[in-house]
Structure 1
Amino acid sequence: MYPNLYYAFKDLFGIEIPVFKLLQTFGFFVAIAFLAGAYVLTNELKRREKLGWLKGVPETIITGKPVTAGEVLFHGVLGFILGFKILGLALDWAEASQDLQSYMLSAKGSVLGGLLLGGILAYSKFRTGKKQEKATPKEETVIVMPHQRVPDIIVMAAVAGLLGAKIFHNLENWNDFSQDPIGSLLSFSGLTFYGGLIVAAVVIIRYAVRKGINVWQLIDSSAPALMLAYAIGRMGCHFSGDGDWGIYNSSYVTDAAGKVVPADPTRFQQMVQASQQFFSRQYASIEHIPHAPFPKPAGLSFLPDWFFAYGYPHNVINEGVQMAGCTGKYCSVLPVAVYPTALYEIIACLILFGILYAVRKRVTVPGVVFGIYLIFNGLERFFVEKIRVNTKYDIFGFHPTQAEIISSLMVIGGAGLIWYCRKINKAAKPAV
């Protein structure tokens, strides 16, 4: 596993670049997911604009306005923060390089560096504004096409998605949240995809209505982009080892070096007993460890063992037991291998993205493509939940997870949306 890009470059290319410790693997893939989603969404919106399904909206802009004090102040504050950390990092490199992430989140830095860069950015903004300023500001009317609003949509999706993912995660893990609410809210770990999807969807749909964008065409355009972004985001989960994995596959254990090895029931129990201190922190008793044996089928012998069970050595959350001969910050491995559910979701969602991308030109009824996306996403997540570790609810004798509840509603909602869209489209067609 690669907690950050420093470890990835060191392992893959034999290159040590200490500053890459700042670039978390999960965050890197999330950024790539947003960029890939924005690219696919932009192209699909352009295609629908050419077909006349989406129209531009006239907007009035004012050019030549004088720069405001608020704009200058914002750039000054931004420059101060960057200069404070950058120069501080250079001056305290010996100490900061030991744990760059902690240093960047601390109050340590250089006030001189902050004042210098803050002053430069503030003055630069002031001078640029003066050059663009006109004696009489001029109003102009321009046509803004839907694809030109993608940057705004992506920023709103990122902010609203992060908030929603945090809120839903803390609702799902209420006991942990109640014990440390501030720490839970500020922690970089603990995100629930469906929470982010729901909150971001509400925010973006409201924005689309306000800007005169056809919501049905927008959601259809976003369906392939969402599936691709989710697949890439899951790469971040898998390659960083962020804890988003499945239950234990008791047909495999991991050795001291972190390698997955086959195990019979006796070997599994021996490993559990040997790692009792670790398991006792996770479960009330070792008899309640969630596991299901599934050895590699003979017909799939060409696949590696880690496809069926993985110990996530060097995982970013330091979950597991100490690895032999390992020193440093990330030296943990799971004693019993788990199902790499993030890997399964990567494969499934890339295939589903391909299907959605292929059918997007054949399905012309507005809203149906997004309905298909809801069904695909709901089914994929519902079945993977069967081997994932998640908090379960007690509802009338049933014990579903939050994701199972939402994914079931997504399948039902997707089917209902397809039926509704086809019905109103048929009703809108004039009788021959």
Structure 2
Amino acid sequence: MYPTISYLLHDLTGLDIHVPLPTFGFVMALSFWAAYWVFTLGFKRVMGPAYPVRRLMDILLLSCGIIGFAGAVLLAAIEAPDGFGYNGLNYYGGLIFGAVTYLVITRRKGIPLIVAADVGSPGMMLAYAIGRIGCQLSGDGDWGIVNLSPTPRWLPVWAWAERYPHNVLRQGQYIPGCGGSYCSELPQPVFPTPLYETIVCLLLFWALWRLRRHVRPGFVFATYLVSAGLERFLIELIRINPRHFFAGLSLTQAQWISLGLITVGIFVFLYLIYYQSLQKSAIPCRDRS
């Protein structure tokens, strides 16, 4: 793994170049840039070239970044107060706080909520996919459960079972002969779940990006809610997050929130279909006499 850019450069070039920049932070910055680019394209398409998109995006980037980060820290502390150093950020905390901030600002700028939600959906999916690359490269603890099953022939070992050597959290056991600052690896291989999420969410981003030109307002947002919720619910089945018992079910915090996203997404779908049927029934029939 590559806790800092120095480790990555050494693996790529063999040179010892001192760049103490955290790999996770660097990739997260790339995810913000990617979201900025996608949001800008989306607003230009729906609002027209005369709309001051760049000024709006600068406000959104700063506000959503700060408040979203605070939400990610807050929900991480609520989820695992005794292991805060291990679970430093919570994706759904950042998503919820950042999304609310985004919708409030765009609403104040005169942009309809449903338009803002549609524009933001592909960008959020892309940012999440890229962010998970940072989790995988740095080994930040978002890995899966122990996986001792034989590796399928069509998969490389690192895509099936990973011990995350030199992980940024220094979790696991000492690597013999290592003399650096990050000399730990997991005692048993685990599922590299961030890698799986990156692949799935890149495909979902592509689907949302293509869908946005072919459906009525609101359908992209509803599709995002259902697909993002379903993806996260399923990946949690092979992850190590703590579980919370409620209503006869034992699920992780992310799974409970995922169920909420799926429910809201289905509700939005049903509402849009119902609203569309009302519009069709309101159209007067032509006089054929």
TM-score by length of 2: 0.93
Q: Which runs of 5+ in 2 are unaligned?
A: 285-289
Work out the CA distance in 1 between the residues paired with 2:273 and 2:59: 31
**Secondary structure of 1:41's aligned partner:** helix
Amino acid at match of 2:222: G
Matched, 1:369 2:220: yes
Identify the residue that residue 209 of structure 1 maps to in structure 2: 107
Residue 46 of structure 1 contacts residue 147 of structure 1 at CA under 8 Å; is this kept in 2? Answer: no
Secondary structure of the equivalent of 2:250?
coil
State the partner residue of 2:98.
Answer: 200
> 2: distance between equivalents of 1:171 and 1:205?
24
Match of 2:207 in 1: 355
Q: Are 1:296 and 2:148 an aligned pair?
A: no
CA–CA distance in structure 2, aligned partners of residues 303 and 344 of structure 1: 12
Task: Tell me the SS of whatever aligns to 1:230.
Answer: helix
Q: 1:344-382: CA deviations, max 9, x gaps?
A: 00100011111111111111x211101100111011001
Q: Which amino acid aligns with 1:332?
A: S
The residue correspondences of 1:7-406 to structure 2 (distance < 5 A) are: 7-18=7-18, 20-21=19-20, 23-50=21-48, 144-146=51-53, 148-176=55-83, 184=84, 190-249=88-147, 251=148, 294-297=149-152, 301-363=153-215, 365-406=216-257
Task: Tell me if the contact between 1:40 and 1:225 (Cα under 8 Å) persists in the aligned partners.
Answer: yes
2:151 alignment partner, SS class: coil
Which one-letter code corresponds to 1:201 in the other structure?
A
State the 1:188 CA deviation.
9.6
How far residue 147 of structure 1 moved from its aligned partner, in angstroms, is: 5.3
The residue number in structure 1 matching 2:287 is none
Does the 8 A contact of 1:164 with 1:195 survive in 2?
Answer: yes
CA contact (8 A) 1:368 1:422 kept: no
Q: Which residue of 2 aligns with 1:279?
A: none
How many Å separate the matches in 1 of 2:81 and 2:164? 27
TM-aligned CA deviation for residue 295 of structure 1: 2.2
C-alpha distance in 2 between matches for 1:305 and 1:228:
26
Deviations 1:177-217 (A, max 9, x none): xxxxxxx5xx6961110111111111111112222112211
Structure 2 counterpart of 1:339, one-letter code: F
AA aligned opposite 2:79 = E
Q: Secondary structure at the match of 1:347?
A: helix
Question: Any idea what the Cα deviations from partners look like across 1:272-327, whole Å, max 9, x if unmatched?
Answer: xxxxxxxxxxxxxxxxxxxxxx3223xxx131112111000010111111111111
* Letter in structure 2 aligned against 1:37: A
Q: Choose 1 or 2 for highest CA Rg.
A: 1
For 1:146 and 1:424, the matched residues in 2 are separated by 30
Distance 1:428 1:159 in 2: 41
Contact kept? 1:312, 1:333, Cα under 8 Å: yes
What are the superposed Cα offsets for residues 325-354 of structure 1, whole Å, 9 maximum, x if unpaired?
A: 111101111110000000100100011111
Whether the aligned pair in 2 keeps the contact of 1:146 and 1:213 (CA below 8 Å) is no
**Retained in 1: the 8 A contact 2:67–2:98?**
yes
Q: 1:234 to 1:189 in 2, by over 3 A?
A: same
Equivalent position SS for 1:248? coil
Once the two structures are superposed, residues 207-255 of structure 1 have per-residue CA deviations (whole angstroms, 9 ceiling, x without a partner) of 1222211221111011111111000000000000001100111x2xxxx
Secondary structure of the residue aligned to 1:27 is helix
Q: Does 1:415 align with 2:270?
A: no
Cα–Cα, structure 1 residues 218 and 188, in superposed 2: closer, same or farther, change >3 Å?
farther
CA apart distance, 1:17: 2.4
**Match of 1:223, SS?**
helix
Asked if structure 1 preserves the Cα contact closer than 8 Å seen for 2:80 and 2:87, the reply is: no
Q: Give distance in 2, aligned partners of 1:46 and 1:188.
A: 40
The alpha-carbon distance between structure 1 residues 188 and 209, as it changes in their structure 2 partners (threshold 3 A), is farther
> Following TM superposition, by how much is the alpha carbon of 1:26 offset from its aligned partner in structure 2, in angstroms?
0.4
- In structure 1, the gaps of 5 or more residues are 57-143, 177-183, 252-293
Residue 226 of structure 2: SS of its match in structure 1? helix
Q: Secondary structure at the match of 1:393?
A: strand
- In the alignment, the residues of structure 1 paired with residue 183 and residue 259 of structure 2 have an alpha-carbon distance, to the nearest angstrom, of 38
Once the two structures are TM-superposed, the CA of residue 43 in structure 1 deviates from its matched residue by: 0.7
Cα separation, partners in 2 of 1:399 and 1:188, compared to 1, 3 Å: closer
| Residue 4 (structure 1) aligned with residue 4 (structure 2) | yes
Instruction: Look up the SS of the partner of 2:249 in the other structure.
Output: coil
What one-letter code is carried by the residue in structure 2 that aligns with 1:341?
A: T
Q: CA–CA distance in 2 between the matches of 1:419 and 1:147? A: 34
Taking only aligned residues, the RMSD between alpha carbons, in angstroms, comes to: 1.8
Structure 2: which amino acid aligns with 1:330?
A: Y
Cα distance in 2, alignment partners of residues 234 and 385 from structure 1: 14
